[in-house]
């Protein structure tokens, strides 16, 4: 009933240029506010919704809501950035995902280039013939496609050269041990090298310390998100960040 009771919201975590600190994007993160259970983070309910299939409705809502939020920011006169929405593997299998995305974009009157979709390696493992077609349709819409938590699952390198994707997200799992843990450092270097040699973008997740930021800059990773910069923010808080960034730019 969470959807019908309007208990869901999206928070927006800034993705920042690691050098300048300017906001260059956002990731929409779902929250469930329940009167009895309080505010719940998605780790608790997404996997359950995936097993029941409810994720298809929740995911479609997130797509519509994120697109509408971009519309609202634009209507309020904010300079906007691309918003990334997480998409479950179930949405790829069971839904006309490209159709849902297209409808969300057109309802909000925004171009596909304003949207990014993050999906996990699970999508690649399911290896449905439909998947390739869906990717092609999404790309046709101008939507950016990224693999979330890259390296955490079953990194099928074979897919990286076949799929029309734009970028990878370096899992916070590996960044946690940086710069102290040698094997975490090695994995970050390897993922960064894979992204660079395949011409893919790379966003580092879970940047919590200045030492991690410095490490990523040395690796040549351009963009990061994490508590060092901001957690997920309400739409108003996020808009204030955008404004601050614009001011900095116009004073520069």
CB of 146 to ligand C2E, least distance (A): 10
DSSP assignment of 171-183 equals: -HHHHTTTTT-HH
Nearer to Mg ion, 125 or 244 (CB): 125
Neighbours of 15 (CB within 10 A): 26
| Residue number closest to ligand C2E, CB atom | 226
Residue 41 vs residues 16, 45, 46, 113, 160: alpha-carbon distances, Å: 23, 7, 9, 28, 30
Query: Do residues 40 and 32 make contact, with C-beta atoms less than 8 angstroms apart?
Result: yes
Candidates 2, 16, 26, 29; binder of ligand C2E (CB under 6 A) is 29
The four Cα atoms 143, 85, 160, 209 give a dihedral, to 10 degrees, of: 130
**Binding piece for ligand C2E, criterion CB under 6 A, among 93-101, 185-193, 222-230, 243-251:** 222-230
Question: Which pairs from 77-81 meet CB under 8 Å and 24+ separation?
Answer: 78/239, 78/242, 78/243, 79/242, 79/246, 80/114, 80/242, 81/15, 81/23, 81/24, 81/25, 81/26, 81/242
Query: Do residues 105 and 111 make contact, with C-beta atoms less than 8 angstroms apart?
Result: yes
**Binding piece for ligand C2E, criterion CB under 6 A, among 55-63, 71-79, 191-199, 243-251:** 55-63
CB of 204 to ligand C2E, least distance (A): 10
The listed partner (ligand C2E, Mg ion, none) that binds 154, CB under 5 to 8 Å by sort, is none
The listed partner (ligand C2E, Mg ion, none) that binds 115, CB under 5 to 8 Å by sort, is none
Contact positions with ligand C2E (CB under 6 A) in 148-167: 148-149
The binding track of 201-220 with respect to ligand C2E, each residue x by CB under 6 A or -, is ----xxxx------------
The listed partner (Mg ion, ligand C2E, none) that binds 42, CB under 5 to 8 Å by sort, is ligand C2E
The listed partner (Mg ion, ligand C2E, none) that binds 147, CB under 5 to 8 Å by sort, is none
Please report, as ranges, the residues that interact with Mg ion according to CB under 5 A.
Answer: 86, 118, 148-149, 205
């Amino acid at each position: 009933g969470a959807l019908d009771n309007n208990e869901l919201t999206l928070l927006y975590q800034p993705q920042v240029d690691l050098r300048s600190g300017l906001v260059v994007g956002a990731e929409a993160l779902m929250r469930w506010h329940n009167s009895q259970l309080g505010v719940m983070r998605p780790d608790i309910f997404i996997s359950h919704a995936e097993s029941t299939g409810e994720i298809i409705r929740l995911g479609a809502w997130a797509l519509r809501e994120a697109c509408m939020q971009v519309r609202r920011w634009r209507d309020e006169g904010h300079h906007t950035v691309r918003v990334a929405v997480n998409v479950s593997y179930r949405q790829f299998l069971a839904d006309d995902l490209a159709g849902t995305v297209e409808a969300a974009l057109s309802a909000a009157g925004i171009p596909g280039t304003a949207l990014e979709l993050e999906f996990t390696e699970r999508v690649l493992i399911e290896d449905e013939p439909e998947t390739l077609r869906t990717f092609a349709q999404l790309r046709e819409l101008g939507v950016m496609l990224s693999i979330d938590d890259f390296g955490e699952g079953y990194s099928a390198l074979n897919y990286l050269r076949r799929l029309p994707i734009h970028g990878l997200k370096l899992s916070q799992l590996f960044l946690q041990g940086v710069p102290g843990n040698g094997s975490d450092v090695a994995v970050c270097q390897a993922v960064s090298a894979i992204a660079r040699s395949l011409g893919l973008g790379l966003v580092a997740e879970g940047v919590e310390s200045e030492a991690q930021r410095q490490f990523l800059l040395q690796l040549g990773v351009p963009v990061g998100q994490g508590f060092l910069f901001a957690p997920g923010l309400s739409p108003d808080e996020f808009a204030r960040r955008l404004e601050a960034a614009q001011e900095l730019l116009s004073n520069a």
